[in-house]
Amino acid sequence: MPREPLPISTRLETLSVLTADGQLDRALEPAVPHADLRRLYKTMLAARRLDERCLMLQRQGRMGTYGPSKGQEAASLGVAYALERDDWFVPTFRELAGLLWRGWPMHTWMLYWGGHEAGNAVPPGLNDLPICVPIASQCQYGMGIAWGCKLRGGGRVCVAFCGDGGTSEGDFHEALNFAGVYNLPLVMVVQNNHWAISIPRSCQTRAATIAQKAVAYGIDGLQVDGNDLLAVIAATREAVDKARTGGGPTLIEAVTYRLSMHTTADDPKKYRTDAEVREWEPRDPLPRFRAYLQKKKLLDAKIEQVIEEEITAELEAAVRQYEQQTVDATEFLRHVFAEPTPELRAQLAELEAHLAARRPARPPAPVS
Ligand SMILES: Cc1ncc(C[n+]2csc(CCOP(=O)(O)OP(=O)(O)O)c2C)c(N)n1
Ligand SMILES: [Mg+2]
């Protein structure tokens, strides 16, 4: 028998709309109202400023270990913008800009990284899941939610995020396989930031792209310039519209770069070169989108100053609110199960006894 090419019909494409210096491919430009473009810029800038502030707070000992989102703002923001409010948004821990767009207050993000349980509380009215650190576990949550959306009807779609490192986890494959088999309204967005802590993307998979993994699940795969907000919006709209109308799941690979460290517990100089970072800096999504808006005459120095001032004021208020949060060192044990297990109850009692022993029995005498 002659050898024949396999009948694979999966569509695989790569998409970018803006060049690094903000030049536009007009034919691909998604329709976005001018007021939204300005709001998107403000949100992207707010995410950058909040990220910078969290890093400072951590360095000053005022916040726990922090995982920066710097350089990845466009990937989650474009996705969030392309969703309806009632759609589901299932993040990992680098979707700061998307969460701000969805309506998460700045101080909730701070509370999360400050180790407060209140940072896990999804703001009322949002179909979002809390920030998720166990790698790729959120793929399964997203798939389950997408299944629920399908069973309930009503046209809701679920977007779940994952990192390039997360694609090596079984959860990622199980979620996409199930979503493909049951034709679920799931959009899986992989933020390929080229690193999983110190493991480069080239060691994560032998596949040339992450998008092509879609072939194995019989679903569409789309690679998009994840530092190009317009491309992310266009790609997500396409995938979300398809999911909403019964067309099934899509795997989107958003190609981006982690410009900062993995977390504040990490020193990337030990495993990647400065030259690599410098190579990516011109593709930073923030100045790219800013250049696009300037060319469209939607941003000038005065507007930018107003935006910066508004963000600074919001940040100051958020830091105050964050630092006013009462500290309860036992709360992490109270939120594991609705009904704590005997082991948890014993651990809680031990911790409470330990804290009580460290507390001064009575207030210290005033110094005369
Ligand atoms: C199940 C699990 N294994 C290991 C870790 C430790 N860990 C935290 S982040 C990370 C790398 C994740 O890389 P990637 O998925 O590319 O996401 P990125 O950090 O680049 O956003 C690892 C291994 C974890 N949080 N969860
Ligand atoms: Mg990564």
54, 105 Cβ separation under 8 angstroms: no
Residue 365: per-residue pLDDT = 63
Nearest CA to ligand 1 atom 3: 135
Distance 163 CA to ligand 2 centre (A): 5
- Cα of 307 vs centre of ligand 2, distance in Å, is 30
Q: Which residues contact residue 270 at a Cβ distance below 8 angstroms, ignoring those fewer than 6 apart?
A: 198
Domain range summary for the chain, segments of one domain joined by +: 12-324, 328-362
Q: How far is the CA of 92 from the centre of ligand 1 (A)?
A: 9
Ligand at minimal distance from the CA of 198 is 1
Which structure tokens are listed for 193?
């930031």
DSSP 245-306: TT---EEEEEE----S-SSTT--GGGTS-HHHHHHHGGG-HHHHHHHHHHHTT---HHHHHH
Q: What pLDDT, on a 0 to 100 scale, did the predictor assign at position 157?
A: 98
How many C-beta neighbours within 10 Å does residue 339 have? 6
Q: Report d(CA 158, CA 340) in Å as an integer.
A: 31
Q: In what order do the strands lie in the sheet with 250-255?
A: 12-15, 220-225, 250-255, 186-192, 158-163, 88-90
> What is the rounded distance in angstroms from the CA atom of residue 232 to the CA atom of residue 255?
10
Q: Catalytic residue numbers?
A: 258, 262, 271
Nearest to 192 by CA among 280, 265, 106: 280
What's the distance, Cα to Cα, between the start and end of the chain in Å?
Answer: 100
Nearest atom in ligand 1 to the alpha carbon of residue 193 is 20
Residue given tokens 């390929």 in the structure block: 192
Position 193, amino acid: N
Its pTM stands at 0.94
Q: What is the pLDDT of residue 226?
A: 98
Written as one letter, the residue type at 27 is A
Ligand 1 site residues (CB inside 6 A) read 94, 133-135, 163-166, 193, 195-197, 258, 262
Tokens describing residue 146 = 């997408």
Report d(CA 66, CA 210) in Å as an integer. Answer: 27
**pLDDT per position in the chain (368 positions), as tens?**
889 988 888 888 999 999 877 788 999 999 999 999 999 999 999 999 999 999 999 999 999 999 999 999 999 999 999 999 999 999 999 999 999 999 999 999 999 999 999 999 999 999 999 999 999 999 999 999 999 999 999 999 999 999 999 999 999 999 999 999 999 999 999 999 999 999 999 999 999 999 999 999 999 999 999 999 999 999 999 999 999 999 999 999 999 999 999 999 999 999 999 999 999 999 999 999 999 999 999 999 999 999 999 999 999 999 999 999 988 889 888 888 889 999 999 999 999 999 999 877 666 666 65
Q: Does residue 283 contact residue 214 with C-beta atoms inside 8 Å?
A: no
Name the closest ligand to CA 134.
Answer: 1
| Four-way CATH pick for 12-324: 3.30.70.1560, 3.40.640.10, 3.40.50.970, 2.60.40.1120 | 3.40.50.970
Ligand 2 centroid to 15 CA: how many Å? 20
Q: What is the pLDDT of residue 247?
A: 98
Atom of ligand 1 nearest to the CA of 162: 15
